[in-house]
Amino acid sequence: MAERNAIYTKQLLPEYQGNPLIEALPDIWDSSEVIDMLSHNDGHHDGERQLDPHYRMHCVLRLFRYFQPLEQHIDIDRRFSLCIRQGYLHRSPLSPDYAMSLVEGYKVIKSGEYILPVAHNPTGSGFTIIGLSGVGKTSAITRILSLYPQVIVHSRYRDEPLILKQIVWLKLDCPHDGLVKGLCMEFFEAVDRAAGTNYFELYAKRAITINIMMKRMEQIVRLHCVGVLVIDEIQHLNLAKGGGSEKMLNFLVTLVNKIGIPVVLIGTTRAMEVLQSEFRQARRSSGHQGDLLWDRMKKDVSWDVFVSTMWQNQWTRQTVPINDDFKDALYHESQGIADIAVKLYAMAQIRAIGLQTETISLNDFRIVASEKFGLIKPALDALRSGDKERIAAIGDIAPISIEDYYAAYSAMLPTTARYVPAKYNRTTLSEQAILKLLELDVEPTKAKRLIGKVMASNSGDKTLSGLVRSAFTLYISETGNAAQKPEDSSTSNDVRDAGDYESIKAAGFVGKPL
């Protein structure tokens, strides 16, 4: 449950002042701040290329956490920042309208009527993000939403009691069958996960009609002051039968009109058929900010930044510098789709490590594509052709799984680089100790030698913590003796006397068990 207590910040804009829902939000960030917060690159660490192949195979998987913010991400953050705050303009919990709407909503639900009172001057809108599968829509939205607390707990505002759990955002996936009932059930579950409530037990498991479930949702949105509702995979509405897509879109428009909550819809190009089926839905889904058509990356500055930063993460023994030929080859095989490009680069390294070629060539990208991209080849060929009709006909691009690829090339590693079953426990312990020393910036060759020396001794603590402490003491002793001044003949075997005691403490070897 990602929640925090409300911390109110004085607002520069007069329309945002005096509204606790807005004052409790994070600051409005500039572009450089957004880039810093979104960037994620676990990266390559010194000495890791000298590790055994099976360890480097694990390191390659860090690429799947790599994230390089681009112009689209800054654009989306600005849109979210705007729509959340604008949606809260006339929804302050301090206004008489807030309490009145809750009371009247409760009466409507109890009476069985299905028309809730219209909110005063609703300002919520939202926008739509449409793009090919794999271009990074969902990952971008997930990361941007993570910059905002999902739940803010209010207790007092300006010395007055304010008991409220404000839900800043909710993200739902449109059900595969496109039915409203499935969306309602997922809504209750999402609120429960965020706010620790039990609405799913109260409303989803009982035999109540969809209309009643939808009215319950409206009341919950009011009660918890939901800031923005994000619905992903909206293209599934194509599969809804019996007018289900129209019913769901009408419901979403109702949330915007009656309550003022912004609704953000995300989907592939197939969602355009549904969203443009009627002018009213298309207009509402666009909101005040317009649609964002998220295309694959072009071979421009954004592509150069994306590939060049990713390229720094190489775990083959022989490093290969980036050049235009590699950028072009990677683009040709991925067609600028970020997810495909990252997986292609990762699989090329896995293949090189597994076959012990220990380097990457242009041909590796072609081989990996031929081995793994069979299902998505028609879509990639359509993108390469530039034919608008063929591109428009592209459906969802199937996600690429690398598990079987990883397993196949891991099996090719030499037996000397694998664990020997008869010595499994001992080997596992020593390897873990070596990795701990690497975290303390001990060179791989020295780490292996020191752990071997400690393991060979007939005394001392042979637990993981004992091995690391003994080996690091030897390391400090060796490096300390070499650096000692001639006139200093004092020595000490206590690691606390070493100048790197703070590094040991920071690594977790002091004050807690390993």
Q: 3-state secondary structure string, 394-426?
A: CCCCCCCCCHHHHHHHHCCCCHHHCCCHHHHHH
- Domain annotation covers residue 81: yes
Q: Provide the Cα torsion 430, 436, 438, 442; round to 10°.
A: -90
Residue type, 304: D
- Domain annotation covers residue 363: yes
pLDDT number for residue 147: 93
Q: Which of 243, 270, 294 is the last residue of a domain?
A: 294
In the chain, pLDDT over 70 holds for what percent of residues?
Answer: 81
CATH of the domain at 77: 3.40.50.300
Which comes out higher in pLDDT, residue 169 or 282? 169
Is the predicted pLDDT of residue 455 greater than 90, yes or no? no
Q: 3-state secondary structure string, 16-54?
A: HCCCHHHHCCCCCCCHHHHHHHHCECCCCCCCHHHCCHH
- Domain annotation covers residue 331: yes
Is the predicted pLDDT of residue 494 greater than 80, yes or no? no
Which comes out higher in pLDDT, residue 74 or 390? 74
- Domain annotation covers residue 52: no
- Domain annotation covers residue 513: no
Give residue 240's pLDDT band: very low, low, confident or very high (50, 70, 90): low
In the chain, pLDDT over 90 holds for what percent of residues?
Answer: 38
Query: Mean pLDDT, to the nearest integer, of 81-103?
Result: 87
pLDDT in tens, 116-134: 444 445 555 788 898 888 7
Say if residue 279 is in the same domain as residue 309: no
pLDDT number for residue 241: 67
- Domain annotation covers residue 125: yes
Say if residue 288 is in the same domain as residue 352: no
Q: Which domain holds residue 271?
A: 3-41+68-294
Query: Mean pLDDT, to the nearest integer, of 273-277?
Result: 68
Say if residue 116 is in the same domain as residue 228: yes
Question: Quick one: CA dihedral 190, 193, 199, 203, positive or negative?
Answer: positive
pLDDT number for residue 103: 80
Q: Which of 392, 415, 438 is the last residue of a domain?
A: 415
Say if residue 221 is in the same domain as residue 245: yes
pLDDT number for residue 446: 82
Say if residue 410 is in the same domain as residue 423: no
The number of beta carbons lying within 10 Å of the beta carbon of residue 100 is 12
Which of 83, 82, 120 lies closest to 98 in space, CA to CA?
Answer: 120
Q: Which of 415, 435, 459 is the last residue of a domain?
A: 415
pLDDT number for residue 210: 78
pLDDT number for residue 260: 72
Query: Mean pLDDT, to the nearest integer, of 84-108?
Result: 84
Say if residue 160 is in the same domain as residue 34: yes
Which of 218, 216, 213, 270 lies closest to 245 in space, CA to CA?
Answer: 270
Residue with tokens 């890791």: 48
Say if residue 93 is in the same domain as residue 184: yes
Query: Mean pLDDT, to the nearest integer, of 383-393?
Result: 82
Are the C-beta atoms of residues 165 and 153 closer than 8 Å to each other?
yes
User: How many independent structural domains does the chain possess?
Assistant: 3
Say if residue 119 is in the same domain as residue 135: yes
- Domain annotation covers residue 62: no
Which comes out higher in pLDDT, residue 222 or 482? 222
Q: 72-81, 272-281, 369-378, 468-477 — which is least confidently predicted? A: 272-281
Say if residue 221 is in the same domain as residue 91: yes
SS3 234: helix
Say if residue 391 is in the same domain as residue 434: no
pLDDT number for residue 58: 92
- For helices 244-254 and 180-195, angle between their N-to-C axes, nearest 10 degrees: 40
Say if residue 410 is in the same domain as residue 498: no
pLDDT number for residue 123: 54
Say if residue 280 is in the same domain as residue 307: no
- Domain annotation covers residue 357: yes
Mean model confidence pLDDT for the chain: 81
